[in-house]
Amino acid sequence: MLNRITLKDKTFELYLPHDAIMKGIESVAARINADYAAVPTPVFLGVLNGCFMFMAELMQRIVFDCEVSFVKLASYEGTCSTGEITDLIGLKENLCGRHVIVVEDIVDTGQSMEHLMGILKKHNPASIEIASMLFKPESYTKEFEIKYSASSVPDHFIVGFGLDYDGLGRNLRDIYVVKDGF
Ligand code: IMP
Ligand code: MG
């Protein structure tokens, strides 16, 4: 395992080795297994692209009957405004009356998750909780609870295990933090 890597113009240092990531995921899986043991067929909804590694490891440790699906938040520039608009794409399931667990790579300010929760709640799920691999408590600005997180991280840029810097680093099996903070 490398202690230091370079992606484009940035240097990153090892922050969470693979074993530590696995330990965090195991404890999240154990809590979800306990909390959902008696819940009828929950649906795990992964938010692409960043969730793919976390989702794969988490789901192998879930022991109850469940469904697994993925969505994506697509952003594009509106033609008549300068604001960025995000749309939810890929939702095929009827979530009405279902118990939903949203699976994310990282919750930073909470802005994207708040937006996503707003859309999902319109589908009237029976319950909705969040499982995020990483959580940045120092930069979080929202009120809703991030019930399951494998690890809290400082307010610095992170790559690896699904997380990217300008498209690179998602394939790394360890998690790295940017060297001089940004
Ligand atoms: P938020 O809306 O500020 O919570 O940011 C959420 C999204 O920004 C995440 O789903 C990531 O895609 C991206 N993001 C936030 N922090 C990081 C980071 O440290 N590394 C890579 N991506 C990040
Ligand atoms: Mg994300």
Locate the ligand 1 atom nearest the alpha carbon of residue 109 and give its number. Answer: 3
Predicted confidence band at 148 (pLDDT cuts at 50, 70, 90)? very high
Q: Measured in angstroms, how far is the CA atom of residue 48 from the centroid of ligand 2?
A: 7
Given the structure tokens 């008549």, which residue do they identify? Answer: 80
Is it the case that residue 47 has pLDDT exceeding 80? yes
- Catalytic site residue 35? no
Ligand nearest, relative to CA of residue 12:
1
Residue nearest atom 15 of ligand 1, based on CA coordinates: 108
Pocket of ligand 1 (CB under 6 A): 50, 104-113, 157-158, 163
- Looking at residue 2, its pLDDT comes to 93
Q: Measured in angstroms, how far is the CA atom of residue 34 from the centroid of ligand 2?
A: 26
Give the pLDDT confidence of 127-146 residue by residue, as tens digits.
999 999 999 999 999 999 99
Is it the case that residue 77 has pLDDT exceeding 90? no
> At residue 168, what is the residue type?
L
Q: Closest by alpha carbon to 133, among 58, 45, 33? A: 58
Q: Closest by alpha carbon to 97, among 124, 117, 116, 70? A: 124
Average pLDDT rounded to a whole number, residues 54-80: 89
Q: Measured in angstroms, how far is the CA atom of residue 72 from the centroid of ligand 2?
A: 9
Given the structure tokens 């959580």, which residue do they identify? Answer: 135
Helix or strand (DSSP H, E) at 6:
strand 4-7
| First vs last C-alpha separation in the chain | 24
Predicted confidence band at 74 (pLDDT cuts at 50, 70, 90)? confident
> At residue 124, what is the residue type?
N
Catalytically annotated residue among 65, 108, 155, 180: 108
Is it the case that residue 82 has pLDDT exceeding 60? no
CA distance 73 to 35: 28
Predicted confidence band at 1 (pLDDT cuts at 50, 70, 90)? confident
Residue ranges of alpha helices (H) inside the chain are 18-35, 52-59, 111-121
Average pLDDT rounded to a whole number, residues 49-56: 98
Token pair recorded at residue 30: 């154990």
Predicted confidence band at 117 (pLDDT cuts at 50, 70, 90)? very high
Give the pLDDT confidence of 149-176 residue by residue, as tens digits.
999 999 999 999 999 999 999 999 999 9
Q: What is the DSSP letter of 44?
A: E
CA distance 169 to 182: 16
